[in-house]
């Protein structure tokens, strides 16, 4: 005996029902993955290696920064404690002083080329052992190791001068 439905349509076949369930499951998984990606991206952006507790700051971000840009920031602290406790930073060694100075020299050239040298105030003479540093490169390779990109193509340097309790942040994406 055939039953007539009130809407006049036949019920969907078992194959159509299975397809709809599979489609709903795929959409649910896609929404979950996108939500997780969004939260992860926010966490990564929030995890910038500038320790909390600074007492003052100067930030000079490239107003035209999209692909090729340079940023320079200064953060002042009351003590070196935030850097001593942050595992991402390490003490500057004698061998690293020249490498760090090289990044700041390259950065100064880019600031001059961009007509923003008036925003840049860094004296490489302050780089010494006992300071703290964190250097990030595009390929996250240690200083001096060759990768697909040149040494000065894309980097972020976080240099904390213990003598002045100042964190200098430079970023170049050229």
Domain encompassing residue 89: 56-173
- Please tell me whether residue 21 adopts helix, strand or coil conformation: helix
Domain assignment of residue 1, yes or no:
no
Judge if 91 and 27 occupy the same domain: no
Judge if 72 and 139 occupy the same domain: yes
For the CA atoms of the chain, what is the radius of gyration?
Answer: 26
pLDDT in tens, the chain (174 residues): 455 555 555 666 777 677 778 777 766 666 556 554 554 444 344 467 999 999 999 999 887 765 567 899 999 999 999 999 999 999 999 999 999 999 999 999 999 998 999 999 999 999 999 999 999 887 665 555 555 567 788 889 999 999 999 999 999 887
Domain assignment of residue 4, yes or no:
no
Q: Would the pTM count as exceeding 0.85? A: no
Structure tokens at 125: 């003479």
Judge if 61 and 131 occupy the same domain: yes
Judge if 22 and 90 occupy the same domain: no
Domain assignment of residue 101, yes or no:
yes
Give the Cα separation of 161 and 127 in Å (integer).
7
Q: How many structural domains does the chain have?
A: 2
Give the Cα separation of 174 and 103 in Å (integer).
13
């Amino acid at each position: 005996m055939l039953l007539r439905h009130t809407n006049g349509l036949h019920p969907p076949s078992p194959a159509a029902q299975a397809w709809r369930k599979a489609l709903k499951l795929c959409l649910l998984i896609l929404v979950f993955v996108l939500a997780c990606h969004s939260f992860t991206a926010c966490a990564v952006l929030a995890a910038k290696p500038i320790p909390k507790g600074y007492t003052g700051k100067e930030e000079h971000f490239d107003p035209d920064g999209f692909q090729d840009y340079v940023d320079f920031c200064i953060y002042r602290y009351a003590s070196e404690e935030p850097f001593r406790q942050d595992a991402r930073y390490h003490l500057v060694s004698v061998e690293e002083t020249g490498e760090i100075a090289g990044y700041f020299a390259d950065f100064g050239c880019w600031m001059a080329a961009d007509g923003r040298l008036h925003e840049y105030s860094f004296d490489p003479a302050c780089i010494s052992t006992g300071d703290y540093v964190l250097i990030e490169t595009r390929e996250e390779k240690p200083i001096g190791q060759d990768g697909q990109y040149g040494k000065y193509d894309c980097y972020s340097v976080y240099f904390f001068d213990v003598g002045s309790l100042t964190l200098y942040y430079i970023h170049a994406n050229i």
